[in-house]
Structure 1
């Protein structure tokens, strides 16, 4: 199989060399280009069309967040993994809301970075463990505040998913492609700090976005703690 192509964006040559050596130890990964700032990152992305962009948040001039937004304007399907010193939930959620597919802190181990790159290349959201825990803590402290970090479209898709609608049904209802709906689905789970659809449903229930009756009615089988739905339909 063709290796996953990676664009490295960091203004420190030693850091880029470290990333290159780490990633290219994996037969399935190949660094296709490097960039030192937001402008050169955009140019390299347009020229090489990498499968994954691994980008530092702090760049000279425009930030990595600015570069992310610029790249996403060019290609809404661009897969960017942000690497940063900040493990706080607020910054992670801001980056994910801007369209990043992953968020890894520089305190993460080398294996965690490799796993994140591979996950993003396969269309999966990737969060390092300390950031995931920070988001989970914030979600438990004030779940409604987490909802504020989602856009109107994401809130609507969250409601529909939690109500039991399939990706193709949501795509038809909102006039979107199934791929776009699946991308939203992955992004929503990362931004609210959950891993499974079951956790997604309980989150939606906890903030009152869906009713227990609506969730139960959508299930083809009874679930302890929920009233029986239309199991005989």
Structure 2
């Protein structure tokens, strides 16, 4: 069988792994290193080390424990985001609070995992985040978000009339410029309203919001 050409070989995803528990770190490292397209290139046991290694090694993904000694995980993510670092933060946490999840994503993290996830889910998340998927959430986190919305009652009551108008147009696939033209308002105003909608409903990405609009039944398909 011929060897694959260099152009056909997928690049290896370089990961810096951070967790203050050596046994946990070793277990995750072993699972990640078992797949051909992922390599753990550095390990950190506290927030300061994680930040330093992310800057020095420039990995594709920083798998970041959010509750370590030193600088808090949210602060690490926010610093890297503010510096426009190309390193993509994948949060790993024991917390499944919707507010903590949201604040982590708003700090610049590309994805969020719960520590009890299966190894296959962690691998899938690393690949997704490395591939540029922002707002990657595990199935468990998505279920937690859905439960939060259910327990909160009708989430649409949180929105103003203008926000509801914009939400419906987002659900129909319109971009901000088109929405501004339809409603005769500035594109900046649309962006501000959209940001408010994300915060009130607990979503981070437009694709996720659009999917929820249809699942919620706010937009009805029409035939012909």
Is this a same-fold pair by TM over 0.5? yes
- Alignment deviations for residues 77-107 of structure 1 (CA, whole Å, 9 cap, x no partner): 5311111111222221221122211111111
Please give the TM-score of this superposition, normalised by the length of structure 2.
0.70
User: Is 1:141 the counterpart of 2:151 in the alignment?
Assistant: yes
How far apart, CA to CA, are the structure 1 residues paired with 2:57 and 2:72? Answer: 21
Q: Report the counterpart of residue 106 of structure 1 in structure 2.
A: 115
Aligned residues of 1:159 and 1:204 also touching (Cα < 8 A): no
How far apart, CA to CA, are the structure 1 residues paired with 2:52 and 2:99? Answer: 29
Per the alignment, in what secondary structure is the counterpart of residue 192 of structure 1?
coil
Q: Report the counterpart of residue 192 of structure 1 in structure 2.
A: 203
In the comparison of the two structures, how many residue pairs are matched? 192
Q: Which residue of 31, 36, 53 maps to 1:22?
A: 31
Aligned residues of 2:173 and 2:210 also touching (Cα < 8 A): no
Instruction: Indicate how the Cα distance of structure 1 residues 76 and 159 shifts in structure 2: closer, same or farther if over 3 A, else same.
Output: farther
Q: Which residue of 114, 117, 139 maps to 1:129?
A: 139
Aligned residues of 2:128 and 2:136 also touching (Cα < 8 A): yes
How far apart, CA to CA, are the structure 2 residues paired with 1:30 and 1:146? Answer: 44
Per the alignment, in what secondary structure is the counterpart of residue 126 of structure 2?
helix
How far apart, CA to CA, are the structure 2 residues paired with 1:174 and 1:63? Answer: 35
Please give the TM-score of this superposition, normalised by the length of structure 1.
0.67
- Per the TM alignment, residue 75 of structure 1 is displaced from its structure 2 partner at its CA by 2.1
How far apart, CA to CA, are the structure 1 residues paired with 2:44 and 2:167? Answer: 36
How far apart, CA to CA, are the structure 2 residues paired with 1:47 and 1:23? Answer: 21
How far apart, CA to CA, are the structure 2 residues paired with 1:121 and 1:107? Answer: 21
Q: CA RMSD in A?
A: 3.6
Q: Report the counterpart of residue 183 of structure 2 in structure 1.
A: none
